Amino acid sequence: MNYVVLGASAAGINAVKTLRELDKDSNIVVISKDENVYSRCMLHHVISEHRTLKQINFVDEDFMEQNNVKWIAGKTVKGIDINKKVVQTEDITVNYDKLLIATGASSAIPPIKNLRDGNFVYSVRNIDDIYKIKEKAQNSKNVVIIGAGLVGIDALVGLFKYEQLNISVAFMEKYILDRQLDEYTASVYENKFKEKGVKFYPSASIQEIVLDNSKNVTGVAFSNGEVLDADMVIVATGVKPNADFLDGTGIEYDRGITIDDMCQTTQKDIYAAGDVVGKNAIWPLAVKQGIVAAYNMVGKDKKIEDEFAFKNSMNFMDIPTISIGMNTPVDDSYKVLTRHGINDYKKFVFKDNVIYGAVIQGDISYVGVLTYLIKNKVEIYDLENRIFDVCYADFFNIKENGEFCYSIYVKCEVRFINTVNQ
């Protein structure tokens, strides 16, 4: 059996690991544009020099050799012939019996005048981007970050190393990290960043990137006429799946490759996982999809039991925050309760004695049990009156054999929902 995996990040690497565990003897080939394995979630640590490329590698350096994998690095996939079962790059073809597409995503560049043409305009997607940012940051005075999601804010924090920089963040949304946080928890971070001199421009409409005669960036112009000085611009406005090579293959695609609950595409023997699927650009889901795809590639049926990966954790300025599930109610049928402590904040979205989402900032010590309750839509008796007091103690119990476990009260009945060895 010839397994071919396109991509060497979260989905691809975990698929390879699983393939080799399940099938000791078959051929495995990995084709990737990247020449190194690394976590894109950690790229900002390279900007700040807290870590090196080697230190954001999430597998052993000899991972490919350990797993007897042929790695074709530094190659871009140009096409797939589904009839001949061949993958085509710029200069080579590789035959497959089972194929996994885990090519990830690229930075989405918004249609702003001169954004694609200017020098010193960077994305935050690949290690080469990071090296260019680091080099330019050393000799720059003003930087504008376009976008205030996790990637943009990670880049912001990474740039704090360069103390001479004046950093501005321009974004279309009302507040930063609006997909992950609510307005209050976002404001806590914004205020801390402002103390370090960062300027924020919410609800910003950018008209163009201002260039000099050499096409070097000199500023960012808003629609209202305001212009920010800029020696470089960092674009962090989302991603688009790397799937241009699918034209003519018959593989269905709509903002990402269409897959079923076994991670199979609309074409036989071809699977997909990770950011290229376009469902949720979160590491845990990419890992889960890669593993499930590998099981099915070797003929062992396995399904994505759930896509519960919508938990975001962050710790900016030494303030930890966890967002789980629905952080803003989708309609009036949901209730919201918040509580501000001296050093913490709790917000719950719930209805019918079930918690659907939470935002916890400061004290996150009991987030584990909340994750379980939200993921499994567990009904909790008299929830509204005791929601802020829910903690591990509510579910503590001891089995007859002395083993620690957790139980939950559902309409005054005790039902064991999870077991935790202590």
Backbone angles phi, psi at 129, to 5 degrees: -60, -40
Strands 335-340 and 345-351: antiparallel
Query: Over the Cα atoms of the chain, what is R_g?
Result: 24
Q: Which residues pair with 346 in a beta bridge?
A: 339, 360
Asked if residues 99 and 269 have their Cβ atoms less than 8 Å apart, the reply is yes
* φ/ψ (deg, to 5) at 71: -105, 115
Residue 382: the pLDDT is 87
Tokens of 114: 């001169």
Domains within the chain, CATH numbers bracketed: 2-105+239-297 (3.50.50.60), 121-235 (3.50.50.60), 317-418 (3.30.390.30)
pLDDT digits 0-9 by tens, 127-166: 999 999 999 999 999 999 999 999 999 999 999 999 999 9
How confident is the model over 279-301, as pLDDT tens digits?
A: 766 788 899 999 999 999 999 99
CA–CA dist 382, 108 (Å, integer):
46
* Residue 113 CB-density burial (10 A; 0-12 exposed, 13-18 middle, 19+ buried): middle
Residues in the chain, pLDDT under 70:
280-281, 306-310, 391-422
pLDDT at 388: 87
User: What's at 316, amino acid-wise?
Assistant: F
